[in-house]
Amino acid sequence: MLEMLKELEKLGPRKDVIGQSVKDVVQTLVDDDLVSKDKIGTSVYFWSLPNCAGNQLRNMSKKLQSDLEISKKRHTELVEQCESLKKGREDSDAREEALSEFKAIEQKYNNLKEELGQYADNDPATFEAMSN
């Protein structure tokens, strides 16, 4: 298919197709690399070869296959990392006790932080900064 855009736009109304839609469809095909476009002199020509679409599909397939292999390897690494991190974290009485103690200390820290926030208005440094 080797046609000029003007010729395609002329052929469109004969088949009850709007000329502007022909231009839009051709541009979409060019953008998707299904049709090639080249300017020769003052004319712009469009063409499509049967092998081009097949080559693009094969290249895309190879790329997706390599991406899949990389993703599978990454998944395997992450599963192994997860398993190694689980070691030493088995449920036990000592672990449960340490976790409950940690949560209590964390709660106390948050309470003290809130209380400190209440006294922020009386901070000498804040008062001096406001007076300056």
Contact 46, 30 (CB under 8 A): yes
**Does pTM top 0.85 for this prediction?**
no
Stretches where the chain sits below pLDDT 70 are 1-5, 8, 12, 14-15, 19, 127
Can you give the residue ranges of every domain in the chain? 3-48, 50-90, 94-132
Quick: pLDDT tens for 12-40.
676 677 767 777 887 888 888 777 888 88
Q: What is the pLDDT of residue 1?
A: 46
- The pLDDT, as a whole number, for residue 5 is 66
52 CB burial (10 A radius; 0-12, 13-18, 19+): middle
Q: What's the confidence (pLDDT) of residue 40?
A: 80
For position 19, what pLDDT does the model report?
A: 66
Give the per-residue pLDDT at 27.
81
CA 27-33-34 angle, 5° bins: 85
Q: What was the pLDDT predicted at 4?
A: 64
Quick one: three-class SS letters along the chain? CCEEHHHHHHHHHHCCCCHHHHHHHHHHHHHCCCCEEEEECCEEEEECCHHHHHHHHHHHHHHHHHHHHHHHHHHHHHHHHHHHHHCCCCCCHHHHHHHHHHHHHHHHHHHHHHHHHHCHHHCHHHHHHHHC
Q: What is the pLDDT of residue 85?
A: 86
